[in-house]
Amino acid sequence: MSFHKILVAIDLNEHSDVVFDRALHLAKTDGASMMVMNTVEMPLEDDLLPMSGAGIGADLVLSEDFQATYHKNLQTEIARVRTQLGRYAEKGREKGVSVEFDCQVGDPGRRICQLAKMWDADLVMLGRRGRRGLQEMLLGSVSNYVLHRSPCSVMVVQGVEAS
């Protein structure tokens, strides 16, 4: 089976190079194009609004200062992520592979599946952080979510554990 469009979801930690390099090797072998993506997980402003009036200082959400700071921090994080993704794209292009990149905001599992569908990917590659037991049950697993909901094939790079 050969792939034409590989979506590579990386979380920009020390193991991201492993996931990217494996995807790059596969893309080069198959003559596929790649989309490298990351999801910024900052809570969206709408997610914070229900906390207002709770008497725990959450009323700050409604203040203009909080909103300005929130948006500034979000834009700063998106710019940082886009810079790092751009480096991955350049590395792929140097190896002769067509590489795009995208930064999403929100829930990583959902965003990966949405982008895979929108971009018409035929493979999603991502790492596995190694969450197990109660930690996986409470925090969830992006790779598990994507495995069960992706519109295309999924390859999970094993051994990419959380530090």
What pLDDT shows up at residue 138?
A: 47
Between CA 162 and CA 41 the distance in angstroms is: 17
pTM comes to: 0.82
Q: Render pLDDT for 117-140 as a digit per residue (tens, 0 to 9).
A: 999 999 999 998 655 555 545 445
What pLDDT shows up at residue 114?
A: 98
What pLDDT shows up at residue 3?
A: 97
Domains of the chain as residue ranges with CATH? 5-157 (3.40.50.620)
Structural contact between residues 144 and 136, judged by C-beta atoms closer than 8 angstroms: yes
Distance of CA 146 to the CA centre of its chain: 11
Question: Which residue, among 19, 1, 21, has the nearest Cα to 11 in the 3D structure?
Answer: 19
Between CA 39 and CA 103 the distance in angstroms is: 6
